[in-house]
Structure formats: C-alpha cells, structure tokens
Structure 1
Amino acid sequence: MQRYLGIDFGTKRIGIAVSDGLGLTAQPLSTLEPSSEQEALGAIQGLIDQYGVIEVVVGLPKNMDGSLGPAAEAALAFAKRLEEGGTAKVTMWDERLTSRAAERLLIEADLSRAKRKRRVDQMAAILILQGFLDRCHRQRESSL
C-alpha cells in the first residue's frame, strides 16, 4: 500500500488530503489552523506516521506567468523543513488556479459562504493530490 498526502499550504490554514491505499484517489482529511509552524510540522508528521505516507505533495502557488511570489517562497520553505524533519519524500506541485477551482466546486455544491471558507483549503488539497496521482498513473501506463 502506497499512500500519499496532499497539502494546500497557507499561513493561516493548511488543507490536507490523503490517497487511498492504492494511490488512486484523494480524500479529504482536515484543515489545520496551527498557531505555529512547529505545530503544523508536528501535526503533518503525525498524519504521515498514522497513514504510512511515502510521499507528501505540497501545492506550489506560482504566479500566472510562472514566477514565484511570497506565497510560493513560503510553501517552498515549509516543504523543505517538512522534508528535513520527516520520514517521507516531499514533492512540489504547481497549484495555479487550484483554490479558484475548489471555490467553484463548492459553490456548485451550494455551500454557504461560511462553509466554503472552512472547506476551500481542504478541497484545494484534494485537487492538488488528485492531479499528482493522475499524472503518476499516466506515466506508469505510458511506460508499459
């Protein structure tokens, strides 16, 4: 069983998703609202251990022109600290427009604004992880 963890990193909230045991689909876990980076790193390492995660996929919020802004730099720094102190490989995933897509999906699901605010990070984490899993499966199929 190979499980993957998806992270939509933010300075206030961190959306988390986990794959099924076969690494095919992403399911929501939680949205963390840690009071410090250390608390966030500890909580994520706990999830890595709990689910036996082999790889963590962290969303990289690039600008539309592909450049890296402050949010992307913060995500890269967080991912580096997560990999240095953890037991799983960390991969960055281009997440341009992921939060907008998550917001659209939640609007289509007719969730109230308050509920959308709480779930948008979780949904973004699902989209980040599912995109990564889909690419992995396409690569495996093309190599057969």
Structure 2
Amino acid sequence: MRYVKPLRLFQDMIKANVSKRERFLGLDVGDKYVGLAVSDPENKIATPLSVLLRKKFSIDLMAEDFNNLISEFSLAGLIVGCPFDRQRLSPDGVQVKVFIDDLCKTGKLQGVKYTYWNECFTSKNVDLLLKPLTLHPVEMKTMLDKFAAVGILQGYLDYVNRNGLNLDVEDHARKS
C-alpha cells in the first residue's frame, strides 16, 4: 500500500482510467469494527457497504477482504477516516495509523493507494441521527460504523468534486 495526498489520489485515478471510472472505498476504523462505504461509479455519492470485524490476529484475512472488494468494485483507492485536532493526529488517530501499517505489512495490498481524511464528528453526527430509532445495540453499532464511513467518503468526494477536479476528466478525454 502507498500513501498519497487526498487530491493526488483523485487526480491519479482520473489520469489512469478515463474511459472507465474507478470507485473509492471509505473506511471508518474503530476498536472492534471497520465500517465500509463505497462511491458510485461517478464518484459523487457514497453509500454504506458493510462492516468488518477487526481482530489483530486476522489482519491477513482483512487484507484478503480488501483485495476482494478492490476487484469487485474496481476501486482506485481507500479513503481512511482519521481524527485530526487542528491538523494534528489525535490519540484515536494512532490506532487508525497502526491498523493501516498492519495492513501494509501483510504485503497483500501491493499497489493499493490510500489517503487519510479528517473524520472528526462523523460518528457523533450519525449517532444523533440514529438515536430516535429503536434498534438492537449490535444493529445500532453496525449502522453507526457504516454510516460514519459514508460521512468520511462523502466528505472526500464533495471536496474533490467542489474543487473542479472532475473537469480534468473531460479535458483529458478531449486531448486523447
């Protein structure tokens, strides 16, 4: 796996594949679960996907799961939620970085690009939306993690689309 800056990840995807757009996978990494969201083929809208159980002894299995998702959804990269406080890594962010480092060490995700995106308050926002619902605690946690991943990925997609980066696709296609 290779880290790239957020805008660079999107620009690389555009340059690499003009005719068939790839998608992005959003990750909300927690102590016990990793919430997943996937973008649509146009990279405009994030939708909830699933939740992976996070266990230290199964990092190789998780890497295989990510490889399967990369193939299934034609993913260009991972958008990993990481809490920042005034552009500094928070204590909770350390566990996110350790998780990504562990995935990298498996060697099973060669060539996969990822970037970090500020996830501050995504879980709290989803929690406020879900609070009025009467759900089983496990179901509530699963929905919270998936929709937090949606918030992370949608924030990234809104940012890159708002900055006119999609115009590069049309310009690049005309030049080809």
TM-score, normalization: structure 2? 0.71
Matched residues in 2 for 1:43 and 1:117: separation? 20
Q: What is the root-mean-square deviation of aligned Cα atoms in Å?
A: 2.3
Matched residues in 2 for 1:7 and 1:107: separation? 22
Q: Look at both structures and tell me which one has the larger radius of gyration over its CA atoms.
A: 2
1:50 counterpart residue number: 72
2:9 counterpart residue number: none
Matched residues in 1 for 2:144 and 2:99: separation? 20
Out of 113, 119, 124, the position equivalent to 1:95 is 119
Counterpart check, 1:38 vs 2:60 = yes
- Return the offset for 1:133: 0.3
* Counterpart amino acid of residue 117 in structure 2: W
Q: More displaced, 15-24 or 71-80?
A: 71-80
- Return the offset for 1:39: 2.2
- Return the offset for 1:124: 0.3
- Return the offset for 1:91: 0.6
Matched residues in 2 for 1:107 and 1:2: separation? 34
Q: How many percent identity over aligned positions?
A: 32
1:128 counterpart residue number: 152
**Match of 1:28, SS?**
strand
CA contact 1:58–1:90 (8 Å) conserved in 2: yes
| Structure 2 portions without partners, runs of 5+ | 1-20, 169-176
Question: 5 Å matches for 1:72-87?
Answer: 72-82=93-103, 85=107, 86=109, 87=111
**Match of 1:140, SS?**
coil
| Structure 1 portions without partners, runs of 5+ | none
- Return the offset for 1:83: 5.3
**Match of 1:135, SS?**
helix
**Match of 2:89, SS?**
coil
**Match of 1:24, SS?**
coil
Matched residues in 1 for 2:23 and 2:134: separation? 29
Matched residues in 2 for 1:142 and 1:10: separation? 31
Count of aligned pairs between the two proteins: 142
